[in-house]
Amino acid sequence: MHSTYKIFIKGMVCERCIHSIRQVLRELNIPVTNISLGEITTVSALSAPDIAALSEKLAPLGFSLLEDKKTKLARDIKKIVEQVYSGSYDFPAKFKFSETLAKKLNKEFTTLSSIFSEVEGITLEKYIIEFRIEKIKEFLVYTDDSLTNIAYNLGFSSIGHLSRQFKANTGLPPSHFQKIRQNKQSLSGKGKPAN
């Protein structure tokens, strides 16, 4: 059974409101399973750009989105993942993401983790791994940072740890992406690009 996601809307008072909102959702290609007064049920969680576009279209019609608490929490968790694994976070000794997250959002980690999975349809651990893997690719292709630096900046315990996670998730060694960078440089006929 697929999860459904609810979006709450302030200002819906009649059938005409439902009709107006149905039109907006059609224009934005947002698939819904149900629309009732004050509530839309969508097939999947909306992305931040979808939420922004929906808000923008609803405002002139006199409606506003009331974001469900769980969705907001999941978005806050993503922001913290982004801050911590940006490549410029100052990792303290014995850093634990679970403790940092629980402290920042003032909730038990297990609660945050299960809400995240429910809203996003992916475990928080898997989301963090995927986020870090994308960051590694970005650093390997667009910077001349060493693997040692990348591992340190993204909070890996060692180059070996980074390499194992990277290969397990992409099927390729980090050197594959370093070659992409070298090919880009030789194609452009330049040495190191300005950062």
pLDDT tens digit string along 44-70? 777 778 888 998 999 999 888 876 788
pTM of the model: 0.67
pLDDT of residue 4: 67
Q: How does the average pLDDT of the chain come out, rounded? A: 87
Model confidence over 95-141: pLDDT tens digits? 999 999 999 999 999 999 999 998 888 899 999 999 999 999 999 98
| Spatial separation of the C-alpha atoms in residues 61 and 156, rounded to whole Å | 49
For residue 190, the model assigns a pLDDT of 54
